[in-house]
Chain A
Amino acid sequence: NAGVTQTPKFQVLKTGQSMTLQCAQDMNHNSMYWYRQDPGMGLRLIYYSASEGTTDKGEVPNGYNVSRLNKREFSLRLESAAPSQTSVYFCASSKTGPLNTEAFFGQGTRLTVV
């Protein structure tokens, strides 16, 4: 029972490089999310997708793009990485909207931009 799977687990990028973080869920959930977690700041929502084919900006979307490839997969792209994007990134999913149902999180991607 995989749940939410993120790849890669760790990544080091040089400033200006691009990369895509992959996320897949096998629970047939409609909604998917990308968060970043920084020390002392809690989880902050980057982008979310309420259903297949839709994406919306969260609290901190600048410097990121997303693609809801299908119902299972939701990817996060950094076009030109900056040191301020050094963080731990979590993908999550929920059956419906996030407020009245539990969210399931992946194990995270630890990204360092040098």
Chain B
Amino acid sequence: SQKIEQNSEALNIQEGKTATLTCNYTNYSPAYLQWYRQDPGRGPVFLLLIRENEKEKRKERLKVTFDTTLKQSLFHITASQPADSATYLCALEGSARQLTFGSGTQLTVLP
């Protein structure tokens, strides 16, 4: 069956360090993969989209990689700040060519 797995537990890191979040998927062959940020009580907010023919994409302190052989995407936040604390969701093409979301990784950046 199709499955999207993100870091199963919450991730705590020290301010200034690089946070690395993982999104693994099985039985999907997505042409696109997206990352969203969600704050408590709010809707998800789009961060980055990466295509299958792109190995890496950057936006300011954010970097996403997409390895279709490993069926994995890594999401990095460099020089992390307490304001980066949130839940991060990966999403990719599921059935009927619609987005399917992972359950998210809760990141806490400690000052």
A contact residues vs B (CB 8 Å cutoff): 4, 33, 35, 40-45, 48, 56, 58-59, 90, 92, 97-108
B contact residues vs A (CB 8 Å cutoff): 4, 30-32, 34, 41-46, 49, 51, 89, 91, 93-104
What residues on B are CB-neighbors of A92 within 8 Å? 43
A58 to B93 alpha-carbon distance, docked (Å): 13
Q: What is the CB-to-nearest-CB distance from A100 to chain B, in angstroms, rounded to a whole number?
A: 5
What residues on A are CB-neighbors of B31 within 8 Å? 99-100
A45 and B46 contact, CB distance less than 8 A: no
A48 and B89 contact, CB distance less than 8 A: no
B104 and A45 contact, CB distance less than 8 A: no
A105 and B103 contact, CB distance less than 8 A: no
A100 to B48 alpha-carbon distance, docked (Å): 11
A33, A44, A56, A108: the one within 8 Å of B42 (CB): A108
Q: What is the CB-to-nearest-CB distance from A17 to chain B, in angstroms, rounded to a whole number?
A: 24
A43 to B6 alpha-carbon distance, docked (Å): 13
Q: With contacts A42-B104, A99-B93 known, is A108 near B43, CB below 8 A?
A: yes
A107 to B4 alpha-carbon distance, docked (Å): 24
Output the nearest chain B residue to A104 by Cβ-Cβ distance.
Answer: B46
A34 to B32 alpha-carbon distance, docked (Å): 21
Q: What is the CB-to-nearest-CB distance from B32 to chain A, in angstroms, rounded to a whole number?
A: 5
A41, A48, A102, A105: the one within 8 Å of B34 (CB): A102
B32, B42, B44, B103: the one within 8 Å of A99 (CB): B32
Q: What is the CB-to-nearest-CB distance from A108 to chain B, in angstroms, rounded to a whole number?
A: 5
Question: In the complex, given contacts A42-B103, A90-B43, what are 19 additional A-B residue pairs having Cβ atoms less than 8 angstroms apart?
Answer: A41-B103, A42-B89, A42-B102, A42-B104, A43-B91, A45-B100, A56-B96, A59-B94, A98-B99, A99-B31, A99-B32, A100-B32, A100-B51, A101-B49, A102-B46, A104-B46, A106-B43, A107-B42, A107-B43
B97 and A43 contact, CB distance less than 8 A: no
Output the nearest chain A residue to B44 by Cβ-Cβ distance.
Answer: A105
Residue from A33, A35, A43, A98 having most chain B Cβ neighbours under 10 A: A43
B43, B89, B98: the one within 8 Å of A45 (CB): B98
